[in-house]
């Protein structure tokens, strides 16, 4: 087969994205707005060029061919208990503010049908995903309240364990999911909220796959077989996705893409911690500290080709029906060359075309797979709600002393 030229790939990419835009699994714009301007959208108006401070604005979303976006309503794990719940509500309020202020472009979506309608009307479907089970403070009622406010996935953990699930980047405590953790997964299935396994430990992933009655997602995780980082998905889990119907959405964060970048990032985290800063500090002080470190220690640069290597691997193990894209823009201080912001998706698709991915495969990657997973979760929920009552389980009842 003759490989397409670069110009042919670009033309085909533009046509493809017009018909099958990107349904991205994870963008941290709400947290970036909280950290940089205190949610003041007059100071960070995404209808204007924000390339100096953000990865995301309306023009670049359009250039990137983004047609649906899960906006992360993430809060840091040093916020706990009711403080975590309140901060999550503030994040949800930020997304509401964005969809009201930019209603001609950002359209609230709560279902697969809403997403399809947005595509037909030319709007960008705006969904929400909570990032970390600490956002529900071990409360099924809070989980349901987030669903009613429009949250359509929850990442079971972030960088630290929750009482009922182990994180990929914390010391194992539960050995995966506890009994209450399994009950959370089942209640999410009943609601129609996608179970997101990014950030979770491999044992948590495996337990959730066994417990879930609906497709799971990885909203922003790449392949551990290509870059051996605990945030990535092990090969056995990728192979298990077809039976579940889930979707692993490859991320572009350099430390999850390139092994050398992972090593460098660990050194940065140690440097920031030594300065008394959180490794995820998004303030001017945090950015300045990283820049100073980078001047002394040049950063390894990941490329579009490296991300494509992950997608090749994920397609081989999970199959073309079970992969997607989750850039994690505005959730990382460093980006992959060629995927520097939300306008970069065409560069990745052009690379995949040059690797002889078919247009039908790319349409599944960009649009159809995450949409199908969301629709399937809704169908499961419709059935379960007829048979099951809302869970009133508590962590104390199911896990006892382990919840302390």
Which residue of the set 199, 310, 313, 322 is catalytic? 199
193 phi/psi in degrees, rounded to 5: -95, 125
Which member of 24, 57, 114, 131 is catalytic? 131
Segment 120-167, tens digit of pLDDT:
999 999 999 999 999 999 999 999 999 999 999 999 999 999 999 999
pLDDT at 403 over 80: no
Question: Pick from 19, 115, 187, 121: which is nearest to 370 by CA?
Answer: 115
Q: What is the pLDDT of residue 181?
A: 98
**28 given a catalytic annotation:** yes
Residue 276 and residue 311 share a domain: no
Nearest to 300 by CA among 331, 344, 330, 256: 256
121 belongs to a structural domain: yes
pLDDT tens per residue across span 87-116: 999 999 999 999 999 999 999 999 999 999
Of 24, 114, 182, 328, which residue is the catalytic one?
Answer: 328
What would the mean pLDDT of 215-231 be, rounded to a whole number? Answer: 98
**199 labelled catalytic:** yes
Q: Let me know whether 250 and 355 are in one domain.
A: yes
pLDDT of residue 278: 83
Task: Quickly count: other Cβ atoms within 10 Å of residue 89's Cβ.
Answer: 17
Active site residue 203: no
pLDDT digits 0-9 by tens, 295-314: 999 999 999 999 999 999 99
Q: Is position 404 within any domain?
A: no
73 & 195 share domain: yes
> Are 268 and 384 found together in one domain?
no
DSSP assigned state of 402: G
Between 282 and 162, name the one with better pLDDT. 162
Of 322, 192, 278, 247, the residue nearest 26 (C-alpha): 247
Q: For residue 404, what pLDDT is reported?
A: 45
Active-site annotation holds for 158:
yes
Q: Are residues 158 and 216 in the same domain?
A: yes
Looking at the structure, do residues 312 and 292 belong to the same domain, yes or no?
A: no
Q: Are residues 178 and 290 in the same domain?
A: no
Average pLDDT value over all residues in the chain: 95
Give me the domain span that covers residue 201. 4-258+304-399
Residues 224 and 210 reside in one and the same domain: yes
Catalytic residue (choose from 158, 229, 313, 368): 158
Is residue 296 domain-shared with residue 192, that is, in the same domain? no
Give the residue ranges of DSSP H helices in 223-344.
235-244, 254-257, 259-274, 284-296, 304-318
In this prediction the pTM is 0.94
Query: Does residue 1 register a pLDDT over 60?
Result: no
- Count of structural domains, the chain: 2
pLDDT surpasses 90 at 2: no
Residue 337: inside a domain: yes
Shared domain for 264 and 337, answered yes or no, is no
Lowest mean pLDDT across 1-10, 119-128, 203-212: 1-10
pLDDT reported for residue 6 = 64
Q: Confirm whether 332 is domain-assigned.
A: yes
Q: Which of 28, 35, 265, 281 is catalytic?
A: 28
pLDDT of residue 9: 79
Domain stops at, among 300, 319, 353 = 300
pLDDT at 168 over 90: yes
Within-domain flag for 57? yes
| Contact between 207 and 182 (Cβ < 8 Å) | yes
Locate tokens 């999850």: which residue? 256
Question: Exactly one of 220, 310, 313, 368 is catalytic; which is it?
Answer: 220
| Inter-CA distances, 315 with 299, 308, 309, 350, 360, Å | 29, 10, 10, 17, 13
Catalytic residue check, 236: no
What SS3 state is found at 108?
strand
Residues 288 and 223 grouped into a single domain: no
- Residue 5 has a pLDDT of 64
**139 and 227 both lie in a single domain:** yes
Of residues 20, 26, 310, 368, which has the active-site annotation? 26
In a domain, 68, yes or no: yes
**Is residue 55 flagged as an active site residue?**
no
User: Percentage of the chain with pLDDT > 70?
Assistant: 98
Q: Is 120 one of the catalytic residues?
A: no
CATH at residue 333: 3.20.20.140
Quickly state the pLDDT bin for 401 (edges 50, 70, 90).
Answer: low
The answer to whether position 237 is within a domain reads yes
Name the helix (H) or strand (E) containing 379. Answer: helix 369-387
């Amino acid at each position: 087969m003759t490989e397409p030229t670069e110009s042919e790939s670009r033309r085909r990419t533009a046509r493809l994205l017009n018909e099958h835009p990107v349904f991205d699994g994870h963008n941290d714009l709400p947290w970036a707005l909280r950290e940089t301007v205190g949610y003041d959208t007059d100071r960070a108006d995404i209808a204007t060029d924000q390339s100096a401070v953000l990865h995301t604005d309306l023009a670049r979303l359009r250039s990137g061919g983004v047609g649906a976006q899960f906006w992360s309503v993430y809060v840091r794990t040093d916020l706990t208990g009711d403080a975590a719940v309140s901060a999550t509500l503030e994040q949800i309020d930020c997304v509401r503010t964005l969809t009201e202020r930019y209603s001609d472009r950002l359209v609230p979506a709560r279902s697969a049908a809403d997403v399809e309608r947005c595509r037909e009307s030319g709007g960008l479907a705006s969904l929400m995903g909570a990032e970390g089970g600490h956002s529900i403070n071990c409360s099924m009622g809070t989980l349901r309240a987030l669903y009613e406010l429009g949250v359509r996935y929850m990442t079971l953990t972030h960088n630290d364990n929750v009482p009922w699930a182990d994180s990929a980047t914390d010391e194992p405590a539960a050995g995966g999911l506890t009994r209450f953790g399994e009950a959370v997964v089942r209640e999410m299935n009943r609601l129609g909220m996608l179970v997101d396994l990014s950030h979770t430990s491999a044992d948590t992933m495996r337990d959730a796959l066994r417990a879930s009655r609906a497709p799971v997602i990885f909203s922003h995780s790449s392949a551990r077989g290509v870059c051996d980082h605990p945030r990535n998905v092990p090969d056995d889990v990728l192979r298990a996705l077809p039976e579940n119907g889930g979707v692993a959405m490859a991320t572009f964060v350099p430390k999850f893409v390139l092994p050398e970048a992972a090593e460098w990032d660990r050194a940065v985290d140690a440097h920031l911690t030594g300065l008394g800063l959180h490794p995820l500090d998004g303030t001017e002080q945090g950015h300045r500290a990283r820049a100073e470190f980078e001047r002394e220690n040049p950063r390894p640069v990941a490329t579009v080709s490296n991300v494509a290597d992950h997608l090749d691997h994920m397609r081989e193990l999970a199959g073309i029906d079970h992969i997607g894209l989750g850039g994690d823009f505005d959730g990382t201080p460093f980006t992959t060359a060629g995927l520097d912001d939300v306008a970069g998706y065409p560069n990745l698709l052009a690379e995949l075309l040059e690797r002889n991915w078919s247009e039908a495969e790319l349409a599944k990657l960009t649009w159809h797979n995450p949409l199908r997973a969301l629709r399937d979760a809704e169908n499961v929920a419709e059935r379960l709600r007829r048979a099951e009552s809302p869970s009133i389980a508590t962590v104390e009842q199911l896990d006892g002393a382990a919840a302390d």
